[in-house]
Structure 1
Amino acid sequence: MPAVAPEILVWARETAGFTVDEAARRLPIGDARGSTARERLSAMEAGKAEISRAMLVKMATLYHRPLLTFYLAAPPRTGDRGEDFRTLPDRHTDAEPLIDALIRDVRARQSMVRSLLDDEDAQPLPFVGGMSVAAGPDAVVADIQHRIGFDADSFRAEPKVEAAFNALRAKVEAVGVFVLLIGSLGSHHTAIDADAFRGLALADPVAPFIVINDQDAKSAWSFTLLHELAHLWIGAGGVSGPHADGRVEQFCNDVASRFLLPAPDLATVAIDRQMNLADIASRVESFADERRISRSLVIYRLFRDNRLSEADWRALSDRFRAEWRQRRATQRDENRQANGGPNYYTVRQHRIGTALLRLVERTLGEGSLTPTKAGKVLGVKPRNVVPLLRYVATPTTTRSTSSRSSGHF
């Protein structure tokens, strides 16, 4: 087996956010030959003890690194996140390694997609970086609406917020943007809280990607999609969080909020500064539900329109967030007690999006993409690529009934 540079082991552990004690416990290494697990791992990282391939496989899994990474001669440079638009209070230190791993994965997938599109002589999309903050949020809203053919009445006619998001996502993907739903690295142990990471925009002119954290409330997905789309429009890719303290983040929030709740509609919200918070919350909830948007979006617009004080806005934001977390916890408990769960291929289809699935289906059929690379692009095992594509191509009404049922800004 090729030699492994000790500094690679240290780098992989530290960038994954583990201390020596934590890594030794979770690998697990175990005590042996008079040495503690911590001492054994320290010896490996110092180059004083041999490391087996089986242990490297465990490290690759725990540290979220490809196995081949451990055979590099030296640690690679830190991956490029683009600009990090999150403010310091948003940071969850334990989530940062997971966010880095997620971004590495998405960038690798984007690189392969870009290569496929370059082979097809795909032309740059004119809207990526086509406008600037100086144009103002209303101009960007109007341009996005025009290019994607958005119709507010159709959006609000959808039966639920998730259906409304799906309709909006389809229009965004139709103009050439790949939209993924990713909120973990494949297990609930690696779920990334929306308070640490809300969305990501990779502003490539040929293969622009948007990632939405699906750990967030479904009512927030449409807002996040439009927020990240605004990032693409001004050519400012990067990571976004829940707060908008910076100029660019506030601009993208204004674009998304005005898109979903224009001024004439905002004027119909029947609240004033003299009302108590409970009455405001009740009216906002009814208004938001009717328009398939989040309550947090409504109160943000009211605050920006000077119809809510900053103190009331923050109090309501905390209230809505706490209520959502409670509902989510209750739903998870009910799901654990229920039999079955969502069909694997249904979940994958929803997370991957139609645009990426269609690209893979076409290029796989043409022979320009292998099943192994197709799996990497889609984020699934190679053996699941063809079954997934077949499942997506099968009309919903003819799918086997034996499949398990799917039981703020």
Structure 2
Amino acid sequence: MAEAFINHRMLSWAAERSGMSVSEIADSLKVKIEEVYAWFEGQKRPSFSKAQAISKKLEIPFAYLYLASPPSMEPNIPDLRTLNNNSKKILSNNSLEVIKDAEFKQSWYKEYIISNVSSAPLPFVGKYKVGDISIVSNIKEKIGEDLFSHRGKNSEEFIRKIILSYEEMGVSVLKSSIVASNSHRKIPLNDLRGFALSDLHAPFIFINSSDEEVGQIFTLFHELVHIWLGESGISDFISDNSHHGKLENFCNLVAGKILVSSSDLKRNWIETKENIRNIEDSANALKVSRAVILKRARDEDYISREDYNKMYKFIYGKKREKIPSKSDKGGNFYYTLPYRNGRRLTKAVISLVQNGDIGAREASQLLNINISKVFSKKLQRNILEEYRWGA
């Protein structure tokens, strides 16, 4: 059987990026673990067919295994995620592909907007600088106070209302937990919670729908602050660690103040209750996480630094579990499509197909669907009628 003269160092690099262990690779290829170790160390070479199977399993082009050194796999936007020692996290292949796909969509949609809607830039993009806390009132004024005073019957409804308000003012929101339409390629939550692609004409936001719903809500506002600052980036999650940097800490601060104002906290905080009960009840009432309430309670001096530190450890020690919402379920293709691709972009693509302005292949690439689906009458009817998009 012909051997593949691959670079064993590239094999190790690809495995590290994928997050797969040696035993998982061995099991998937139905070979002994010792054989895989031998490939990694350059003591043996896999067969050509095994090498092809490895590249497919590790989700990299087969030719990469022959390179002398790893290619650049960095995203085009700043990666603001850090570990406690200030070192950068490695972005997974799935997460990188999601970012590239969003950039592709944004590039197309920007051209569409300028050519067919308006060439005028959106006035709020890049309007503020880090440190200007008046950004809080400006964002709330733009969105409308009604969104916050009527948050919906549950967190899922609040998310729908937020996304609808963003799209109406020109910010596209992509919400998914998988790469394209491939349910087997999950986006790891600890790798990618959200990112912002700032642009004067077509700003884009992505949130990972595998996060718990209150986490998605916070991420939506965190990313919106990025747009108001004109700063693209892959975002870190809410935390009190100083290593996040000035930009991320400011986005967290503003998002918290938007979601939980001083009056919101005063209205929900009852002095006769224990702090932890106040945090739980306020979080449920305002449809935010306990971590957001905890931080805002400390900001407003409702709790001491000592109590804050104790409850911080308690809250972050709990595992975040997600109850799938309707927009996460793969059963209703017509429901999830505008969430995954953005409401206005999806509608624009389907309208152009109907008018014969773009072909089915281009539409299928933009929406990550099979070409046959593009001409689905049910799809066109539901999308153009904005089926189930309302808040």
Q: TM-score range by the shorter chain?
A: 0.7 to 0.9
Match of 2:173 among 175, 179, 182: 179
2:208 equivalent to 1:207: no
Q: 2:216 matched to 1:226? A: no
Contact 2:124 2:228 in 1 (8 A): yes
Q: Is the 8 A contact 1:8 1:74 kept in 2?
A: no
Residue matched to 2:348: 359
1:311 Cα deviation after fit: 4.3
Matches within 5 A, 1:238-277: 238-242=233-237, 243=239, 245=242, 246-270=245-269
Task: Point out the structure with the larger helix share.
Answer: 1
Q: Tell me, yes or no, if the aligned pair for 2:194 and 2:223 is still in contact at 8 Å.
A: yes
Judging changes above 3 Å, is the alpha-carbon distance between structure 1 residues 202 and 341 closer, same or farther for their aligned structure 2 residues? closer
1:102 aligns with 2:98: yes
Distance in structure 1 (CA, Å) of the matches to 2:259 and 2:161? 13
- What is the deviation of 1:9? 9.7
Q: TM-score, normalised by structure 2?
A: 0.77
Deviation larger for 145-154 or 169-178: 145-154
1:87 aligns with 2:82: yes
Q: Decide whether aligned partners of structure 1 residues 163 and 299 sit closer, same or farther in structure 2, where only a CA change above 3 A counts.
A: same
- C-alpha spacing 1:184/1:40, structure 2 compared with 1 (3 Å): same
Q: In the superposition, relative to structure 1, how do residues 189 and 353 fare at CA in structure 2: closer, same or farther (>3 Å)? A: closer
Alignment of 1:59-70 (within 5 A): 61-65=56-60
Question: Alignment RMSD, CA only?
Answer: 4.0
Aligned in 2, Cα 1:356/1:60: closer, same or farther, shift over 3 Å? farther
Matched residues in 2 for 1:141 and 1:106: separation? 27
Sort the Cα spacing of 1:10 and 1:18 in 2 relative to 1 into closer, same or farther, 3 A: farther
Partner secondary structure for residue 16 of structure 1 = helix
Q: CA deviation at 1:5?
A: 9.9
1:292 to 283, 287, 295: 287
Give the residue type in structure 2 aligned to 1:102. V
**Do the aligned partners of 1:20 and 1:38 also contact (CA within 8 Å) in 2?**
no
Task: Tell me, yes or no, if the aligned pair for 2:173 and 2:206 is still in contact at 8 Å.
Answer: yes
Ranges in structure 1 where 5+ consecutive residues have no aligned partner: 398-409
- After TM superposition, give the deviation of residue 88 of structure 1 in Å: 1.2
The answer to whether the Cα contact below 8 Å between 1:155 and 1:167 also exists between their aligned partners in 2 is no
Matched, 1:392 2:387: no
Q: CA deviation at 1:60?
A: 5.7
For 2:342 and 2:196, locate their aligned partners in 1 and report how far apart those are by CA, in whole Å: 16
CA contact (8 A) 1:5 1:74 kept: no
1:128 aligns with 2:129: no
Partner amino acid, structure 1, of 2:202: A
Which deviates more from structure 2 when the two are superposed, residues 88-97 or residues 343-352?
88-97
SS at match of 1:133: coil
Determine the C-alpha separation between the residues in 1 that align with 2:67 and 2:150: 50
- Cα distance in 1, alignment partners of residues 157 and 315 from structure 2: 21
Q: Kindly tell me the number of residue pairs found equivalent between the two proteins.
A: 370
Query: Is the contact between residue 196 and residue 241 of structure 1 (CA under 8 Å) also seen in structure 2?
Result: no
Q: Distance in 2 between matches of 1:255 and 1:153?
A: 15
* Equivalent AA in structure 2 for residue 175 of structure 1: M
CA distance in 1, matches of 2:75, 2:91: 17
1:181-211 deviation line (CA, Å, top 9, x unaligned)? 1334344663412x44321011122221111
Partner of 1:28: 29
Q: Secondary structure at the match of 2:29?
A: coil
Change (3 A) 1:394 1:267: closer
Q: CA separation in 1, counterparts of 2:87 and 2:27?
A: 24
Shift of 1:74: 9.1
1:10 aligns with 2:6: no
For the structure 1 residues 294 and 197, does the alpha-carbon distance in structure 2 shift closer, same or farther, using more than 3 Å as the test?
Answer: same
Give the Å deviation of 1:23.
Answer: 8.0
Deviations 1:293-351 (A, max 9, x none): 332221111112232234433443454455563x54xx58xx9xxxx974233233433
Indicate if the aligned counterparts of 1:150 and 1:171 stay in contact, CA closer than 8 A.
no
Distance 1:5 1:130 in 2: 54
User: Any idea what the Cα deviations from partners look like across 1:76-132, whole Å, max 9, x if unmatched?
Assistant: 533335222223139896764443233223223323333433443643222221211
Q: Unmatched 5+ residue regions in structure 2?
A: none
Shift of 1:229: 0.6
* Structure-2 change in CA distance of 1:70 and 1:96 (3 Å): closer
Residues 54-88 of structure 1, C-alpha deviations (whole Å, 9 max, x = no match): 964x4564333478989999965333352222231
Q: Which shifted more, 119-128 or 292-301? A: 119-128
Q: Which residue of 2 aligns with 1:403?
A: none
Cα separation, partners in 2 of 1:390 and 1:315, compared to 1, 3 Å: farther
Tell me which residue corresponds to 1:380: 369
- 1-side partners of 2:299 and 2:150: how far apart? 24
Q: Does the 8 Å contact 1:179/1:353 carry over to 2?
A: yes
**Equivalent residues of 1:81, 1:239 under 8 A apart:** no
Name 1:149's counterpart in structure 2. Answer: 144
Change (3 A) 1:169 1:287: same
Farther off after superposition, 297-306 or 62-71: 62-71
